[in-house]
Chain A
Amino acid sequence: MFSLIVGLVVAVVLLVVNIVLLKISFVPKELRILTIISIMVGYVYWGFEPFAHHEMHPHVAEASYEFDGKGDIEALEAQAKEIEAKGGDRSALDTEIAQTKEFWSNVVAISELSGNVETGSELVVANCTACHSIESEGFPKLMEDTDAAAAYGVTPPDLSLAGRIYDKNYLAAFIINPVKAMHIEHKYPVTGSKVFPMPGSDWMSNQEIADMVAYLQEVASKVDAPTVADGASDFEIAKAKNKEVFEAACVRCHSMEYAGIDAKTSAEAMREYIGATPPDLSQHIRSRGADYLHNFINDPQRKLPGTGMPRVGLTLEAEKQVVDYMEQIGDSKKQEREALGPIVLIYLTILAVFALLWKKQIWKKLH
Chain B
Amino acid sequence: MAEFEKANSIGEWFDQRLNTSGFWRVMMTEYWIPKNINFLWAMGALLAMLFTLLLVTGIFLLMYYKPDVNMAFDSVNYTIMQEVAYGWIFRNIHGVGASVVFLVIYIHMFTGIYYGSYKKGREMIWLSGMLLFVLFSAEGFSGYMLPWGQMSYWAAYVITEIFGGIPFIGDELVIWIRGNFYVADATLTRFFMLHVLLIPLAILGAIVFHFYTLRFPHVNNEEGEFFDYKEESEKYLAGNQKESKVIAFWPDFLSKDFMVISIFMIFFFYLVFYHNAFAMDPVNFDKADGLKTPAHIYPEWYFLWSYEVLRGFFFDIAGISGKSLGLIAFGFAQIIFVLLPWLDKSPMVKPANQRPVFKYWFWILMADLFVLTIFGKLPPTGINAWVGFYASISFIVLFLALPYLTKLEAKMVGGK
Contacts and interface: CB of A to CB of B under 8 A. Distances in A.
Contacts of B256: 359, 363
A11 B88 contact: no
A284 B107 CA distance: 35
B222 to A, nearest CB: 9
Interface string A86-125: 0000000000000000000000000000000000000000
B6 interface: no
Interface in B239-274: 241-242, 247, 251-252, 255-256, 258-259, 261-263, 265-266, 269-270, 273-274
Given A348-B262, A352-B266, 11 more contacts: A41-B103, A44-B370, A44-B373, A45-B278, A48-B376, A52-B377, A341-B274, A348-B266, A355-B258, A359-B259, A365-B242
Contacts of B86: 336
B342 interface: no
A54 B304 CA distance: 17
Residue of A257, A286, A354, A358 contacting most chain B CB atoms (<10 Å) = A286
B242 A1 contact: no
A356 B259 contact: yes
B377 A340 contact: no
Interface string B372-386: 011011110001100
Interface of B is mostly: helix
A359 B255 contact: yes
A147 B35 CA distance: 81
A340 B272 CA distance: 11
Interface stretch (B24-32, B76-84, B189-197): B76-84
A11 B261 CA distance: 29
- Closest 4 A-B residue pairs measured CB to CB? A47-B374, A341-B273, A287-B285, A286-B285
7 contacts: A15-B367, A279-B286, A284-B285, A341-B273, A348-B262, A355-B259, A366-B241
Interface residues of B, number: 58
B121 interface: no
A340 B378 contact: no
Interface of A: 1, 4, 7-8, 11-12, 15, 18-19, 22, 29-30, 33-34, 37, 40-41, 43-45, 47-49, 51-52, 55-56, 257-258, 279-280, 282-284, 286-289, 332-333, 336-338, 340-341, 344-345, 348-349, 351-352, 354-356, 358-359, 362-363, 365-367
Nearest to B377: A52
Contacts of B88: 333, 336-337
A65 B375 CA distance: 37
B263 A352 contact: yes
B155 interface: no
A362 B39 contact: no
Residue of B38, B81, B262 contacting most chain A CB atoms (<10 Å) = B262
Contact of B259 (A29, A49, A286, A352): A352
A37 B107 contact: yes
Given A11-B371, A340-B89, A356-B259, A366 B286 contact: no
A283 B284 CA distance: 10
Contacts of B404: none
A237 to B, nearest CB: 20
Contact of A258 (B39, B78, B379): B78
B124 interface: no
Residue of A1, A15, A44, A282 contacting most chain B CB atoms (<10 Å) = A44
B38 A333 contact: no
A40 B374 contact: no
B77 A56 contact: no
Contacts of A40: 366, 370
Contacts of B74: 257
Residue of B258, B259, B295, B296 contacting most chain A CB atoms (<10 Å) = B259
Contacts of A352: 259, 262-263, 265-266
Interface in B191-206: none
Contacts of B296: 56
Contacts of A284: 285
Given A19-B363, A359-B255, A345 B374 contact: no
A18 B352 CA distance: 13
B282 interface: yes
Given A47-B370, A48-B374, A258-B78, A348 B285 contact: no
A157 to B, nearest CB: 27
